[in-house]
Chains A and B, each alone.
Chain A
Amino acid sequence: MTSVHPVLEVRDLHVGFGPRKGGVPEVRAVDGVELTAERGQIIALAGESGCGKTTLARTLLGLAQPWRGQVLYHGTPLDYRNSALKAYRRKVQLVLQDPTGALNPRRTVYEAVAEGLRIHRVPGDERAKVAQALSLAGLRPAENFFGRYPHELSGGQRQRVVIAGALVLNPEVIVADEPVSSLDASVRGEILALLMSLRDELGLTVLVVTHDLGLAWNIADQLAVMYLGRIVEIGRTEQVLAAPKHPYTEALLSVLPETRHREPVILTGEAPDPRHIPDGCRFHPRCPALTDGRAQRAGVADRCVGEPLQMLPLHRAHAAACLLPGHVGDGIAGAAGGVPTGVTAS
């Protein structure tokens, strides 16, 4: 399908849990996200444990509904009626974070992979399709796995059954939540290579949630970094990894073994709580730039603590939601870059 619109687009997205007060849910898991995925793009999404990545992924699939903002597919807002969602989920596949939870313990590997074909009444040779998907996912010879139950598989084998279940429908988009986290480097490499070739040959679009920045380096065009419900930095993978702009990204990269020559910045302070999002910049209670005086010298320290920070807008080459000079929040970069519509203050 060709269209002038991005395949997937997320505008002003807010997703929460728990009772609402004045329309706002108690737990603000996703709290102002803008994102686009163009056809054939591979985007990696990283960020602190608990920052809202899985919630965002589930919302992209229509499994959770935003209380504010929307998800657009080829420019059209998601239709949450059952039949429309069903058609949508044939094109857009989700690979869940936890393969053990994702698989029904009473279904064989064959049934797990064939399920999508049956739900969507896909014509053709079911057995051949299941076998092909399994062997693409590295479970070869596929027939040996047909009759096995999830508990008879290793952790990585289970994860590959889930991946096969997504591949078997030839989706247009795969939203994958830590898809290869239980695989060794060589099997992981094989599956990532497969995703890249599907992208090159069929224009597959991939949004992959990952803690593994090496994975982003391996395959992603863009890398987005989330913190407490928001994307705080996004850009070309090389740029974000080589020259991070946001103090959170800087800290994250500083603990990688590859950067052991840099002083590791271990963040202190309370783990963030999506029920109580700090005023000002949401990272300020833990921001190293605020404690080491960088923010002070740049004359932004007061605003860091007191002034609501813009949500990071779309369509920027490399941007960070931070008031330090040269970043989006500083008012200069924002003006020069032609900030598109949909920018709101939190």
Chain B
Amino acid sequence: MTLLEIQDLHVDYRIAGGLLPAVRGVDLTVGKGQILGVAGESGCGKSTLAGAVLRLLPASTAVRGRISLHGEDVLGMSWGRLRAVRWSAASIVFQGAMSGLNPVHRIGDQIAEPILLHGTPAQRKAGRKALAGKVGELLESVGVPAWRAQSYPHELSGGQRQRVMIAMALACEPDLIIADEPTTALDVMVQAQVMALLKSLVTERGVGMMLISHDLSVLSHVCDRVAVMYAGRIVEEGPAGTLFTDACHPYAKALAGAFPVIGDMASRRAPRGLPGDPPYPLDLPGGCPFHPRCAVAIEQCATEDVRLRPAAPGRAAACVHVGVASESATALENLR
């Protein structure tokens, strides 16, 4: 049974001006022992997707589609069942989690909390004191010395707090970990350590992971597959190793092209953005939502609802140029 399966997910936020469509039809799966990477423009719906999986979005939000965890329908779960599932079956490391710690409690107590509530019966019975060793181990596993359990959040640096949140998400040994920008505040060395830890959970314990990151090099090195989102949809999906070096979708290509490569003189003192405005969810362009910014757009892009289609073996992309021979393919080739 697939660990996580999402089908045709739609999420609309309720805001003053009406409904804001943040996720507009996403399908994806994460199997046991698999890491799925998710990348995409700021505001394209990645965190919304993550929050939807554990129903952590504001109550007014409209969520449609199907999310199943171990075959169980998440959207139909009772709150009690949902509470039991969070932490122990699936846990999430929130983006910007460093401000998610409670300022008045020591961090050791905060890590122990989910274990006391959702851990094994033995752990729950043993109580807080008995968990000190476990808490220390969790901290050390993310490179934070065990004595930090005694510290308050304000006594920790940004990266230390971020690692505390990762330790907390691992505390109840969940089968699925959703990590939303888990290493943004970490230096490359510590980041490599944390990624190695997460990867070992995946390979040794068969944990499944959804990893949201702007760091394309982390994604291509850590994940099995990667999905690139734009304006609430997946626009390309494929193997992590080649997706960014050989992207099919013009947006995925532009994203990869904007990523600086140290040592490459072309990007020295030449930061690159993407021309045009990011799409505004309340006022999305018709047709392919990328068309106003796309260098290879053709007439039909403004009107046709372009859906994901096979682009190569194991690869899908939502672009009219994909999967057809001739001129279109040449246009794409020239972009490369």
Q: Chain A CB within 10 Å — which of B42, B188, B220 has the most?
A: B42
* A343 on interface, CB distance cutoff 8 Å: no
The distance in angstroms between the C-alpha atoms of A140 and B293, with both chains bound, is 14
The distance in angstroms between the C-alpha atoms of A314 and B263, with both chains bound, is 26
Q: Is the CB of B160 within 8 A of A213?
A: no
CB interface residues, B 1-36, toward A, < 8 Å: 13, 15-16
* A331 on interface, CB distance cutoff 8 Å: no
CB interface residues, B 177-206, toward A, < 8 Å: 180-181, 184-193
Q: Is the CB of B268 within 8 A of A155?
A: no
CB-based nearest B residue for A274:
B157
CB interface residues, B 250-292, toward A, < 8 Å: 254-256, 258-263, 267-274, 277-278, 280, 282
Among candidates A17, A158, A188, A255, residue contacting B188 with C-beta atoms closer than 8 Å: A255
The distance in angstroms between the C-alpha atoms of A203 and B146, with both chains bound, is 46
* A217 on interface, CB distance cutoff 8 Å: yes
* A241 on interface, CB distance cutoff 8 Å: yes
Q: Is the CB of B274 within 8 A of A196?
A: no
CB-based nearest B residue for A158:
B96
List the B side residues contacting A238 at CB < 8 Å.
Answer: 268
The distance in angstroms between the C-alpha atoms of A256 and B192, with both chains bound, is 9
List the B side residues contacting A188 at CB < 8 Å.
Answer: 214, 258, 271, 273
The distance in angstroms between the C-alpha atoms of A190 and B269, with both chains bound, is 13
- CB-CB under 8 A for A184 and B214, given A178-B184, A242-B263, A257-B221: yes
Total number of A residues with any Cβ neighbor in B under 8 Å: 67
Q: Chain A CB within 10 Å — which of B13, B187, B270 has the most?
A: B187
Q: Chain A CB within 10 Å — which of B160, B185, B216, B255 has the most?
A: B185
Q: Chain A CB within 10 Å — which of B96, B98, B190 has the most?
A: B96
CB-based nearest A residue for B43:
A154
Q: Is the CB of B192 within 8 A of A49?
A: no
The distance in angstroms between the C-alpha atoms of A184 and B212, with both chains bound, is 11
The distance in angstroms between the C-alpha atoms of A217 and B270, with both chains bound, is 9
Q: Chain A CB within 10 Å — which of B58, B267, B270 has the most?
A: B270
Q: Is the CB of A217 within 8 A of B187?
A: no
Q: A287 to nearest B CB, angstroms?
A: 14
* A218 on interface, CB distance cutoff 8 Å: yes
Q: A115 to nearest B CB, angstroms?
A: 19
List the B side residues contacting A252 at CB < 8 Å.
Answer: 187-189
Q: Is the CB of B160 within 8 A of A49?
A: yes
Among candidates B41, B158, B269, residue contacting A187 with C-beta atoms closer than 8 Å: B41
- CB-CB under 8 A for A184 and B40, given A144-B282, A217-B268, A266-B189: yes
Q: Is the CB of A213 within 8 A of B185?
A: no
- CB-CB under 8 A for A241 and B263, given A155-B96, A184-B255: yes
* B144 on interface, CB distance cutoff 8 Å: yes
Select the stretch in A97-105, A293-301, A334-342 that faces chain B: A97-105
* B242 on interface, CB distance cutoff 8 Å: no
List the A side residues contacting B181 at CB < 8 Å.
Answer: 155, 182
The distance in angstroms between the C-alpha atoms of A154 and B260, with both chains bound, is 23
Q: Is the CB of A155 within 8 A of B95?
A: yes
Q: Is the CB of B96 within 8 A of A266?
A: no
List the A side residues contacting B192 at CB < 8 Å.
Answer: 255, 264, 266
* A47 on interface, CB distance cutoff 8 Å: yes
The distance in angstroms between the C-alpha atoms of A63 and B265, with both chains bound, is 38
List the B side residues contacting A144 at CB < 8 Å.
Answer: 280, 282
Q: Is the CB of A251 within 8 A of B42?
A: no
CB interface residues, B 36-67, toward A, < 8 Å: 39-43, 46-47, 58
* A306 on interface, CB distance cutoff 8 Å: no
Q: Binary interface profile of A, 149-173, with partner B (CB < 8 Å = 1, else 0)? A: 0011111111010000000000000
Q: Is the CB of B155 within 8 A of A219?
A: no
Q: B100 to nearest A CB, angstroms?
A: 8
Q: Is the CB of B158 within 8 A of A54?
A: yes
CB-based nearest A residue for B276:
A140
* B159 on interface, CB distance cutoff 8 Å: yes
List the B side residues contacting A17 at CB < 8 Å.
Answer: 155
CB interface residues, A 52-98, toward B, < 8 Å: 53-54, 97-98
Q: Is the CB of B42 within 8 A of A47?
A: no
* B217 on interface, CB distance cutoff 8 Å: yes
Q: Chain A CB within 10 Å — which of B158, B193, B216 has the most?
A: B158
* B143 on interface, CB distance cutoff 8 Å: yes
CB-based nearest A residue for B40:
A184
List the B side residues contacting A266 at CB < 8 Å.
Answer: 189, 192-193
CB interface residues, B 118-166, toward A, < 8 Å: 143-145, 155-160, 163
Among candidates A49, A177, A182, residue contacting B95 with C-beta atoms closer than 8 Å: A182
List the A side residues contacting B260 at CB < 8 Å.
Answer: 185, 189, 214-215, 217-218
Q: Chain B CB within 10 Å — which of A46, A138, A251 has the most?
A: A138
Q: Chain B CB within 10 Å — which of A155, A192, A214 has the most?
A: A155
Q: B300 to nearest A CB, angstroms?
A: 25
* A333 on interface, CB distance cutoff 8 Å: no
The distance in angstroms between the C-alpha atoms of A218 and B160, with both chains bound, is 26
Q: Is the CB of B258 within 8 A of A152?
A: no
Among candidates B42, B186, B216, B267, residue contacting A156 with C-beta atoms closer than 8 Å: B42
List the B side residues contacting A264 at CB < 8 Å.
Answer: 192
List the A side residues contacting B102 at CB < 8 Å.
Answer: none
Among candidates B40, B185, B188, B274, residue contacting A181 with C-beta atoms closer than 8 Å: B185
Q: Apart from A218-B260, A256-B188, list 12 A-B contacts with CB within 8 A.
A: A48-B190, A140-B278, A144-B280, A189-B260, A189-B273, A193-B271, A193-B273, A211-B188, A215-B260, A217-B267, A218-B267, A218-B270
22 contacts between A and B (CB under 8 A): A49-B190, A97-B158, A144-B280, A144-B282, A151-B58, A153-B43, A154-B46, A178-B158, A182-B96, A185-B259, A186-B41, A186-B255, A187-B273, A213-B188, A214-B261, A218-B260, A218-B268, A218-B271, A238-B268, A241-B263, A242-B263, A252-B188
10 nearest interchain CB pairs?
A: A156-B42, A49-B159, A190-B273, A192-B271, A186-B274, A214-B260, A185-B258, A101-B99, A189-B273, A186-B258
